[in-house]
Amino acid sequence: MAPGLEEYLILSALLFSIGLFGAITKRSAVVILICIEIMLVAVNIALVAFSRFITPVELTGQAFAVFVIVVAAAEVAVGLAIILTLYRQRHTIDTKKVDLLKW
């Protein structure tokens, strides 16, 4: 029996939570970015799964996934640029040491 929608969605949920956990707990900005990538992948899996099982002909979900990938790519580019700038100025990418948003 082929895996159904639920299996894919649960997989997506698991990946998402793992990414979330990482994004919250890691101190290294790069790792946080990596974890966000994982979360985006999880979302993509969910989107494609919906596309496969609910609109297999129209493929709307896949179209969304394309956009998610685009945005993810842009986000990584800017994110990394910020991280590098930060590193250049502060010589660290430890989020504990860069709390500029603090009151």
Partner 1 sequence: MNSMPEMLTWIIPALPLAAFLMLLLLMRPLKIKSNLNGYVSIAATAMSFFFSTWLLVNIVQTAETKFIPGFSWLSLEGAIDIQVGLIVDSLTAIMLVVVTLISLLVQIYSLGYMHGSKSLNRYFAFISLFTMAMLGLVMADNLLIMFMFWEIVGLCSYQLIGFWFHRPPAARAARKAFFITRIGDFGFLAAILLIFNATGTFNISEVHSLAASGVIAGTTITWACLGIFMGAMGKSAQFPLHTWLPDAMEGPTPVSALIHAATMVAAGVFLVGRMYPLFEHSEAALTTVAVIGAITALFAGTIALAMNDIKKVLAYSTISQLGFMMIALGLGSVAIAIFHLFTHAFFKALLFMGAGSVNHSTGTFDMRKMGGLARPMPWTCATFVIGSLSLAGIWPMAGFFSKEEILLSAFNNHPLLFVLAIIAAFLTALYIFRAVFMTFGGQVQSRFKPHESGKVMVIPMSLLAILAISAGYFNATGGFLKLLGDDHTHSWIYGIFGVLGHPLAWASLLIAGSGIFLAYAIYQRRWISSRKIARRFGFFYTIVFHKYWIDELYEKYLGNKLLNSGLFNLFNKFDSKVVDGTVDDVARLNLNSSKILRLVQNGNLQTYAMAFMIGVAALALMVILVN
Partner 2 sequence: MGLQIAFWVLALIAVGSSAGVILQKNLFRAALLLVVCFLASAGIFVTLSADFLAAVQVIINVGAVAILIIMSIMLTREVTRGSPSNRLGAPAFVISALIVFILVFSILTTAWPISGAEPAQPTTSVLAQILIGDPGFILIIQMSAILLLSTIIGAIVLMKEK
Helix axes 29-53, 5-25, angle to 10 degrees: 170
- Closer residue to partner 1 in complex, CB, 11/20: 20
Nearest approach in angstroms of CB 8 to partner 1 is: 20
Cα–Cα distance for residue pair 12/16, rounded to 1 Å? 6
Token pair of 47 as six digits: 């989107």
The residues in 1-30 that bind partner 2, with binding defined as CB under 8 A, are 1-11, 13-22, 24-28, 30
The site for partner 1 (CB under 8 A) is made up of 20, 23-25, 32, 95-96, 99-103
Count Cβ atoms below 10 Å from residue 88 Cβ, excluding itself. Answer: 8
Assess 51 for contact with partner 2 (CB under 8 A): yes
